[in-house]
Structure 1
Amino acid sequence: MTSSQAGQSCRIDLWLWRARFARTRGLAANMVERGAVRLTHHGVQTRLDKPSRNVHPGDDILFAQAGRLIAVRVLQLGERRGPPEEARALYAALDAPEA
């Protein structure tokens, strides 16, 4: 995380779309509204309920997709929905927690 990103944030639905975890922002928003996304910010985990909730570099996100748990750390917020290589630079995969 660079010092210029320290105070930045982004809507969770927009970030999930930019990172290519959802095909559309609408699908990303639906995933959040269903309560399928958990965010860990400063060591506190919360189940997100609104797509307008913010995500910051350094946050951890946990969600289910295609029958498996996905756990990632936000590295960057991104400025657009780019190609897959650009999307993969937005996050780092974490070991999935034990169920």
Structure 2
Amino acid sequence: MESTRVDRWLWAVRLTKTRPDAAAACRAGHVRINDRPAKPASTVVPGDQVRARVGDTTRIVEVVRVIQKRVGAADAVTCFLDRTPKPPPEVPVAKRDRGAGRPTKRERRELDRFRTR
């Protein structure tokens, strides 16, 4: 069974921009393999679930194919299955123009109705 280092795999499938970024994420505790903290040298094999916090989002992927070298984006997406849950829909926020003064009684009622939904 083939395996590779997790920092190298994250970089090869384009989840991180550079390999040092992947290694830093591992050292900071932002990468988990099968719900266990991963060091940069931890190995991944097909079937493993990798949870990586990249930027401000957490990606959950399942390893399908192990690769050593960085490949094109079209080939990279065939190496994992994205199990990341969809983000919740954004709730619209009531905005008032700056300098519009205090809300009227009618506007306050509309805001209250909006907030209690």
- For normalisation by structure 2, the TM-score amounts to 0.68
**Conservation of the 8 A alpha-carbon contact between 2:13 and 2:77:** yes
Taking the aligned partners of 1:76 and 1:62, their CA distance within structure 2 comes to 16
The runs of 4+ residues in structure 1 deviating greater than 4 Å are: none
- For normalisation by structure 1, the TM-score amounts to 0.80
Amino acid at match of 2:37: R
Q: Tell which structure's C-alpha radius of gyration is larger.
A: 2
Q: 1:26 to 1:95 in 2, by over 3 A?
A: closer
5+ residue gaps, structure 1:
1-6
Identify, as 1 or 2, the structure richer in strand. 1
Identify, as 1 or 2, the structure richer in helix. 2
Number of equivalent positions = 86
Percent identity, aligned pairs only? 28
5+ residue gaps, structure 2:
86-117
Query: How does 1:1-99 map onto structure 2 within 5 Å?
Result: 7-40=1-34, 45-48=35-38, 50-96=39-85
Amino acid at match of 2:36: T
Taking the aligned partners of 2:58 and 2:25, their CA distance within structure 1 comes to 13
Deviations 1:50-73 (A, max 9, x none): 211101100001122232221000
Deviations 1:30-49 (A, max 9, x none): 01000000111xxxx2011x
Amino acid at match of 1:85: A
Pick 1 or 2: higher relative contact order, CA cutoff 8 A, min separation 6: 1
RMSD of aligned residue pairs (Cα, Å): 1.5
Which deviates more, 25-34 or 65-74?
A: 65-74
